[in-house]
């Protein structure tokens, strides 16, 4: 990776893209310190740190939520709107036809996603501040002002992400999330050194936590880059005066095709009841839920939800029937497997095995840090979802950098 960055820095046009990306990320982080008017920051910070779902969002925004800046909502509404539009595309035939129209159809869906992002940001901001009673004035005008300020910050973050994707290196939205996650590492390092100097945490525990984090990064890297290559042989066919086919290729099937979405969905579903109950701290059910979150059954429920969402996302993202039909249409066969239904069953069986492995890996990745925190008594710098996002974004950005360097060499040769 360091060799790739060093070689890329020597190329003038790629160096400009890298500097442009770094400048936009710096601007995003600087905008994250501008406070929203009319906010009681101390009350909001205490509420965010006590609620799991809000603390998860705070990690995604690099601490902007607890400070209630204009970037407090971050890019989360954009992710939510993209997921909603993706699910609606599968469920609504009109949107599915629009997506299949090509570039123009995808542009229209992306435009609707932007509008939905601003609406979601405004509604979430007003609802969150109203529930936390974080407004200093409490009037309807103050809530509208807070909602507009945060919605404007989300729209600006979305614009920065799109500019990075167009003029910089890597996916801009992913890099904004990556910047927010990595920024928490510096704070965690300072707190860890301070606790070690006070004697609250021993140096051995700190060393074990660091080594455990590195081991998790290595495991996530191997699983994220792993794929099962199903061989496909295309028969020769003659159309007019030309001959097609007669080549061997493969179908790449990723080990963890669902990515971080099952973790996000499972965390959100389990943290949502606790977030609602925490607004009535004196009730008995809130105390029961707080005790339940620290138990083993909570971790088992989290693992089961991760399994369910992993298989659900795999079922809507990979369709073995369509792949088998396309292969049969162009004369492609899997060696040793007949065309048609046997190929469909074979691809479905391979997909289920890979999905099962990915679900087990995500469940372990989500539960191990929790037990490590309980044993060591030290808060880890990354949650499971944050770690998976950070590693995946770093790998994908490196791949894009290498591909741009390769394209430049081809252009120079031609």
Domain contains 407: no
| Dist CA 261 CA 306 (whole Å) | 9
| Dist CA 343 CA 350 (whole Å) | 11
pLDDT of residue 197: 65
Domain contains 191: no
Residues 150 and 6 in one domain: yes
| Dist CA 95 CA 116 (whole Å) | 15
Residues 304 and 363 in one domain: yes
| Dist CA 83 CA 95 (whole Å) | 14
pLDDT of residue 237: 63
Helices (H), 103-202: 103-132, 140-167, 172-198
Domain contains 266: yes
pTM (predicted TM-score): 0.71
Residues 219 and 154 in one domain: no
Domain contains 167: yes
Contact between 223 and 358 under an 8 Å Cβ cutoff? The reply is: yes
Three-class secondary structure of residue 230 per DSSP = strand
Sort strands 227-234 and 247-254 into parallel, antiparallel or unpaired.
antiparallel
Residues 5 and 150 in one domain: yes
User: What are the start-end ranges of the E strands in 183-286?
Assistant: 227-234, 237-239, 242-244, 247-254
| Dist CA 316 CA 322 (whole Å) | 12
Give the domain range for residue 363.
Answer: 202-377
Q: Is residue 67 classed exposed, middle or buried when 0-12, 13-18 and 19+ CB atoms within 10 A define those classes?
A: buried
Residues 138 and 206 in one domain: no
| Dist CA 255 CA 142 (whole Å) | 48
pLDDT of residue 413: 46
Q: Which of 258, 253, 206 is nearest to 365 (CA)?
A: 258
Domain contains 402: no
Residues 6+ apart with CB under 8 A from 188: 379, 380, 381
What is the residue whose two structure tokens read 């705070």? 58
The CA-based angle 101-107-110, given to 5 degrees, is: 120
Contact between 171 and 393 under an 8 Å Cβ cutoff? The reply is: yes
Sort strands 242-244 and 247-254 into parallel, antiparallel or unpaired.
unpaired
Q: Based on the structure, what is the number of domains in the chain? A: 2
Contact between 60 and 176 under an 8 Å Cβ cutoff? The reply is: no
Last-in-domain residue among 159, 176, 193:
176
Residues 263 and 225 in one domain: yes
Write out the chain's pLDDT in tens, 414 residues: 667 777 777 778 888 888 998 999 898 888 888 888 888 777 777 777 666 566 667 777 777 777 888 888 888 788 778 878 877 887 778 877 887 777 788 888 888 888 888 988 888 888 878 777 777 777 888 888 888 998 999 999 999 988 988 888 888 888 888 888 777 777 666 766 666 666 656 677 767 777 777 888 888 888 888 888 888 887 766 666 666 556 778 888 888 887 777 877 777 677 666 656 655 656 667 667 667 776 778 788 888 888 888 888 888 778 888 888 888 887 788 888 888 888 888 888 998 999 899 888 888 887 777 776 666 555 565 666 677 777 778 877 887 787 777 766 555 444
Last-in-domain residue among 176, 210, 235:
176
Q: How many CA atoms lie within 13 A of 81 on its CB side?
A: 24
Three-class secondary structure of residue 108 per DSSP = helix
Q: Where does residue 102 fall: left (phi above 0), alpha (psi -120 to 50 degrees), or beta otherwise?
A: left
Q: At what angle do helices 384-413 and 341-376 cross, to 10 degrees?
A: 120
Contact between 15 and 8 under an 8 Å Cβ cutoff? The reply is: yes
Q: Computed over its alpha carbons, how large is the radius of gyration of the chain?
A: 24
Domain contains 197: no
Torsions phi, psi for 258 (to 5 deg):
-80, -15
pLDDT of residue 70: 87
Domain of 250, CATH number, reads 1.10.3370.10
Q: Which of 105, 104, 113 is nearest to 173 (CA)?
A: 113
Q: How many CA atoms lie within 13 A of 200 on its CB side?
A: 9
Contact between 25 and 176 under an 8 Å Cβ cutoff? The reply is: yes
Residues 212 and 77 in one domain: no
H/E run at residue 332: strand 332-333
Domain contains 186: no
| Dist CA 303 CA 363 (whole Å) | 5
Residues 108 and 212 in one domain: no
**Burial state string for 11-24 with b = 16 or more CB within 10 A and e = fewer than 16:** eeebeebbebbeeb
Q: What sign results for the dihedral spanned by CA atoms 143, 124, 275, 61? A: negative
Tokens of 149: 């300020």
| Dist CA 73 CA 121 (whole Å) | 7
Domain contains 193: no
Residues 71 and 116 in one domain: yes
Residues 14 and 62 in one domain: yes
H/E run at residue 57: helix 52-60
Residues 158 and 24 in one domain: yes
pLDDT of residue 23: 92
Residues 164 and 80 in one domain: yes
């Amino acid at each position: 990776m360091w060799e790739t960055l060093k070689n890329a820095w020597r190329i003038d046009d790629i160096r400009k893209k890298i500097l442009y990306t770094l400048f936009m990320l710096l601007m995003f982080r600087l905008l994250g310190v501008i406070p929203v008017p009319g906010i009681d920051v101390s009350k909001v910070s205490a509420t965010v740190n006590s609620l799991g779902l809000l603390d998860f969002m705070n990690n995604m925004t690099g601490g902007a939520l607890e400070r209630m800046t204009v970037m407090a909502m971050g890019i989360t509404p954009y992710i939510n709107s993209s997921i909603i539009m993706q699910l609606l595309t599968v469920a609504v035939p009109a949107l599915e036809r629009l997506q299949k129209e090509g570039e123009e159809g995808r542009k229209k869906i992306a435009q609707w996603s932007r509008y939905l992002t601003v609406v979601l940001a405004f509604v979430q901001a007003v609802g969150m501040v109203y529930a936390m009673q974080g407004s200093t004035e409490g009037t309807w005008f103050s809530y509208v002002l807070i909602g507009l300020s945060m919605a404007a910050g989300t729209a600006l973050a979305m614009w920065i992400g799109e500019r990075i994707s167009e003029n910089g290196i890597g996916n801009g939205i992913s890099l904004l999330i990556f910047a927010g996650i990595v920024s928490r590492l510096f704070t965690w390092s300072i707190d860890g050194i301070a606790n070690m100097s006070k004697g609250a945490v021993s140096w051995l525990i700190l060393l074990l936590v660091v080594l455990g984090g590195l081991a998790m990064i290595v495991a996530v890297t191997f699983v994220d880059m792993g794929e099962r290559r199903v061989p496909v042989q295309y028969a020769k066919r003659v159309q007019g005066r030309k001959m097609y086919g007669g080549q061997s290729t493969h179908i790449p099937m990723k080990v963890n095709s669902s990515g971080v979405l099952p973790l996000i969905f499972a965390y959100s579903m389990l943290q949502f009841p606790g977030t609602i109950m925490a607004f009535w701290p004196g009730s008995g059910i809130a105390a029961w839920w707080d005790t339940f979150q620290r138990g083993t059954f909570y971790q088992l429920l989290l693992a089961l939800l991760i399994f369910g969402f992993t298989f659900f996302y795999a079922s809507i993202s990979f369709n073995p029937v369509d792949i088998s039909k396309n292969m049969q249409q162009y004369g492609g066969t899997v060696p040793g497997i007949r065309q048609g239904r046997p190929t469909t069953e074979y691809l479905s069986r391979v997909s289920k095995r890979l999905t099962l492995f990915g679900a087990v890996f995500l469940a372990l990745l989500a539960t191990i840090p929790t037990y490590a925190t309980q044993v060591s008594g030290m808060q880890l710098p990354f949650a499971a979802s944050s770690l998976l996002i950070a590693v995946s974004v770093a790998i994908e950005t490196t791949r894009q950098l290498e591909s741009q360097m390769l394209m430049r060499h081809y252009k120079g040769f031609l």
